[in-house]
Amino acid sequence: MYGGPVNNIGVTGANGFVAKALVNALSQRIGIGVTAITRQETDVVMRRVRKCVVPGGVPDPEFFLDLDGVVHTAARVHVMHETSGDPLQEFRKVNVDATLAIARNAAAAGVRRFVFISSAKVNGEVTFPGKPFTETDKPSLLDAYAISKWEAELGLAEISRQTSMEVVIIRPPLVYGPGVKANFASLMKAVRHGIPLPLKAVHNSRSLIGLENLVDFISVCISHSKAANQTFLVSDGFDVSTSVLVRTMAQAIGLPDRQFSVPVPLLKLAGRLTGKAAMIERLCGNLQVDITKAQTLLGWAPPVSFEDGIRNAMLGKS
């Protein structure tokens, strides 16, 4: 196994939420060269970062000759308003076919390590109290996105077996931080505006990971010898209820907690009646991941507390 210093790193999807932060963090390290890979022009403009636009999304093998490692973040993610008649086919084009093509070309060029950002959705959508997901659990693939990520994991494992390139799989749960979008951003906006939310009676338990913590873990996986050919679930190591999450958001910006109590069954009924059942389920359900493997095998601990991560997200600090 390689496990040595990685001096030149390529990051795909470099205009994305996670990748921007990763490129920024890596570019500040002495002795590290970073190549930001995108399909179109991006606002990633930093010292010591080489920008590379690949319109087709899959660089030729020659492109990877100067790289020791690749972090693959580019993906088709959850689509709020799906228009494709065959969503799985669309997810497979990007998350499976393009991922494996990039990995094959990287391996052919001698890239030593390929870090793939997968998703905890491969494990499933819901956990029972006190029974968090672990890396050894059988996948529970409930949508096209999860299927595509799992198929990519399987393909990468096969490429690793056939070549000398080591593969690391990272499955984060929901990632929050400055610049987060979708439902988490909507929740932060509601808190900022002091909108009363009917979530005080929600006492679920969910694993989240702050952007700073995920970037730190990816950085560890780039070169840690024991990360080679392993799969990791990762989080802040501090599971919270939705009501505590909202309260922490309000406290981070000096506002009172304006939540009020509505029984969870009524919230779920309202979700079904309004066509927002999936969103309400995420707000009320449990989804925990066990990060023991990351802690014991790699000696990793989240460097940023949950409270500080939420404060950074609310204040837009990175």
Angle at the Cα of 271 from the Cα atoms of 265 and 275, rounded to 5 degrees: 155
C-alpha 232: how far from chain center = 12
Q: Whose structure tokens read 């100067």? A: 66
Q: Which residues contact 50 (CB under 8 A, 6 or more apart)?
A: 33, 34, 35, 36
- Indicate the burial class of 175 (C-beta count within 10 angstroms; 0-12, 13-18, 19 or more): buried
Positive or negative, the CA dihedral 171, 173, 177, 179 is positive
Q: Does 145 participate in catalysis according to the annotation?
A: yes
Determine the Cα–Cα distance for residues 49 and 286; give it in Å rounded to an integer: 40
- Residue tagged active-site, from 145, 176, 217, 306: 145
Q: Are 51 and 40 in contact (CB under 8 A)?
A: no
H runs (alpha helix) in 193-241? 211-223
Which amino acids are annotated catalytic? 145
